[in-house]
Chains A and B, each alone.
Chain A
């Protein structure tokens, strides 16, 4: 059993980050939300409806998903990757094209330059931007991000954090981010939950969580405090 007795309410429009070490059950929790996994016991409600009752394909098209490996399709162009879910939803080609351009501009890529490029020709940071654009293309109310910036160098990551906050201010999605990096969680989320061995140890606003004395939370905070200690 990966998760036990998890009781989690996520409000519309908030950004919640789930932090924990590898194997804590973070990714499983994400997959429960978009129906890639159905719980053995208990219920997951999305927009007030049990994921068992959703048509899984309809549900997933309403939920943006960004993976650490990104998973851009190498046989498609950047534009085709971004326009994929609108295509699944049966949008008109013209509407898809203008939406793709809009999304690329949103993540800071010039559509004239990038839309026609093979997805494989991009740098790591550019791919991650395209991954975000693809997740947002069909304007889903919910966005799930699984270690979205984990594979990037610190400078690019910091840049994408700023971009994310700008985009989130613009689009106001309900966002669930999974990460093992408390600094990233603090930088992006309105609330941060700590997952440990399949249980939510603590869930609070960053400011409150930073003062936690819980032995399951402290080790995750330590790198953050050390970094602050060496700062002038």
Chain B
């Protein structure tokens, strides 16, 4: 019921995301058919040349989709954020089933029929169009159906690179720990997959029915549908193409989305330039690539993350030194670090409140005595990063009952609350800390570096739009940690809309603004 209400309340957005999803899958599948079927026919005609092609398509299929986006993002032409790279990846994934079933379908045609057709005087083209393709059609359509259904699923990942689609709800729901929002993406996606599958099956039946008139009708219907998809494509993705645009990015968790909205709305108000949001991007690496390639103009980074994850510096715990170092290194890449927003989103080592009371845990040092009987869960980044788990366990001599489990950031608080693990590394500003009654252990040996939130922007954009610099500087120190935690909580626990939370915050800011400023 809550799902239906959500869908009803957000029907404009749902429709737009659904449309984007259809365009992503439709366009990529169409291109994959246009490439895959001819390649499959060629491979069937010349098995020796065909084998490597099928092998290559096989290899491509085994690359995990998120990894594929990671490979392609930095490439010129194909790479970059948005629908382009997503469609490219979806095409690659759709090729294998189509090529393979085309090969199977064409080479599976009875040799007697090929001989008969040749003996009756068919040219190779006539043989292909009148005999081989019609007989291979059921097999080819089966491949297209598999490709399209896989595409609907894979396209949800495309939201991680800012391509839109129903995946936006899934990622947003995961970061907000809101099952309704996850379902709002997953259920329409599943329905889309089923109707695509059924629709293609129906199309094949019509194509096979011998009447040329119905076949022509089917052809025109298909042409009409593709035209609709193209029109939809331009409306779903097309935005202000003329005029200046500032693109605001964010990573894929609640705080980042709120900060992205704050920056975006603030820039809209103060600069009058139109702002494009590319929020919910798949992590530090993708945001950094996007910023450097100009796919986004600004996003909020944390000084410690920039220092260790982007620039691979040694861990440093003095906030001023880190800020200076980061500012210099960004400057070399034509990027400007603006003044800190006011809060430090350091890592928070969290345990359940009851464990803290029972075992008297106040600091991480206290916890080191207790952890040999505890299980830990960490995000993938935290497990890998130099300033993450490896250094932490060394500094405090942490030992656990089992190797720490790698978990998705969006699930980690719930995992702790539900006793799947006993200790996690989360964000100091997470609204879920209070929601789940968790306790943050003090970093009494000062292991974690500072993670001051700072907007990082392309210097070229700041020169082009001077008002943008002034606007971003006006945010300096205006978001203290309790304010950030409150906003996170409003979204995570109160299921408020991040855009609305940002709007309310900016309205408060305007009221507090000294008059005449």
Which chain A residues have a beta carbon within 8 Å of chain B's beta carbons?
34, 36, 57-61, 65, 67, 69-71, 73-77, 80, 84-85, 88, 134
Contacts and interface: CB of A to CB of B under 8 A. Distances in A.
Interface string B106-133: 0000101101111111110010000100
Interface in B485-511: none
B208 A75 contact: yes
A57 B124 CA distance: 10
B8 interface: no
Contacts of A80: 210
A74 B116 CA distance: 12
B126 A88 contact: yes
A88 B208 CA distance: 21
Nearest to A134: B120
Nearest first, the 8 A-B pairs at minimum CB distance are A71-B116, A60-B121, A61-B121, A65-B119, A69-B112, A75-B134, A71-B112, A57-B121
B374 interface: no
B415 interface: no
A134 B117 CA distance: 11
A88 B122 contact: yes
Contacts of B112: 67, 69, 71
Given A58-B121, A60-B120, A84-B120, A76 B210 contact: yes
A74 B130 CA distance: 12
Nearest to A30: B119
Contacts of B208: 75
Contacts of A88: 120-122, 126
12 contacts: A34-B119, A57-B123, A60-B119, A60-B121, A67-B115, A67-B119, A69-B112, A71-B112, A71-B116, A73-B116, A84-B120, A88-B122
B210 A77 contact: yes
B356 interface: no
Interface in B91-114: 110, 112-113
Most buried by A among B110, B120, B123, B135: B120
Contact of B118 (A60, A74, A85): A60
A79 to B, nearest CB: 10
B119 A36 contact: yes
A54 to B, nearest CB: 11
Given A60-B120, A65-B116, A88-B121, 6 more contacts: A58-B121, A69-B116, A71-B110, A71-B112, A71-B113, A71-B117
B8 to A, nearest CB: 47
Contact of A85 (B115, B120, B131): B120
The secondary-structure label for the interface of chain B is helix
A104 to B, nearest CB: 17
Nearest to A137: B120
Contacts of A60: 118-121
A65 B120 contact: yes
A75 B121 contact: no
Contact of A36 (B118, B122, B126, B131): B118
A134 B122 CA distance: 14
The secondary-structure label for the interface of chain A is mixed
A67 B116 contact: yes
A131 to B, nearest CB: 9
Interface residues of B, number: 18
A75 B135 contact: yes
Interface in B318-332: none
Contacts of A58: 121
Nearest to A87: B130
Interface in B53-112: 110, 112
Nearest to B123: A57
B119 A74 contact: no
A129 B209 CA distance: 25
A85 B121 contact: yes
B210 A71 contact: no
A85 B120 CA distance: 7
Contacts of B116: 65, 67, 69-71, 73
A50 B120 CA distance: 19
Contact of B122 (A57, A59, A67, A69): A57
Nearest to B210: A77
A74 B115 contact: no
A134 to B, nearest CB: 8
Contacts of A77: 210
Nearest to B120: A85
Nearest to A74: B135
A89 to B, nearest CB: 8
Nearest to B137: A75
A61 B112 CA distance: 18
A183 to B, nearest CB: 26
A57 B119 CA distance: 9
Nearest to B133: A75
Contacts of B122: 57, 88
A182 B406 CA distance: 81
B277 to A, nearest CB: 51
A84 B116 CA distance: 11
A71 B120 CA distance: 11
A134 B120 CA distance: 9
B120 to A, nearest CB: 5
A43 B447 CA distance: 93
Contacts of A74: 113, 135
A201 B119 CA distance: 28
Nearest to B134: A75
A147 B110 CA distance: 19
Contacts of B126: 88
A51 to B, nearest CB: 13
A85 B126 CA distance: 11
B141 to A, nearest CB: 13
A73 B113 contact: yes
Contacts of B134: 75
Contacts of A134: 120
A60 B116 CA distance: 11
